Amino acid sequence: MAKIKKGDLVQVITGAKAERGGDRGKQGKVLQVIPAENRVIVEGVNRVKKHLRAGQTASGTTEGGIVEVEAPIHVSNVAVVDPETKKPTRVGYRLETVTRDGKEKTVRVRISKASGKDL
């Protein structure tokens, strides 16, 4: 089970500081998780310029040029943000018994190690 999922609020914990042009300390939502490469794409973090060739798209436009897109960042360089303190924290799991359709099931719930709150 992955500790970081799509839609999580994460913070960059490594790299150059923002005043030096880096992304450390920035927070953003996870747009995509790439488990095969252990990477995540975070909104507003690790933005790179990409050169696009003019071509036909699904909407019928033929626009090219230089666009800024988010590049993948390694999953070890980000940490989930605690919903209570708004600071990075580790992720843990708690087992809960849930009753659905008359059957009892044991499910794993992701929790913040710092505050113990559900993520």
Q: What does the pLDDT average to over 44-69?
A: 82
How many angstroms from the chain centroid is the CA of residue 100?
30
- What is the predicted pLDDT for the residue at 116? 87
Q: Tell me, yes or no, whether 105 and 74 share the same domain.
A: no
Q: How confident is the model at residue 9 (pLDDT cuts 50, 70, 90)?
A: very high
Whether pLDDT at 1 is above 90: no
Q: Tell me, yes or no, whether 63 and 106 share the same domain.
A: no
Q: Tell me, yes or no, whether 63 and 97 share the same domain.
A: no
Q: Tell me, yes or no, whether 57 and 10 share the same domain.
A: yes
- The CATH code of the domain that includes 17 is 2.30.30.30
Domain residues for 106? 86-119
Q: How far is CA 20 from CA 7, 49, 60, 77, in A?
A: 28, 19, 41, 17
Whether pLDDT at 117 is above 90: no
Regarding pTM above 0.95, the answer is no
Q: Amino acid letter at 22?
A: G
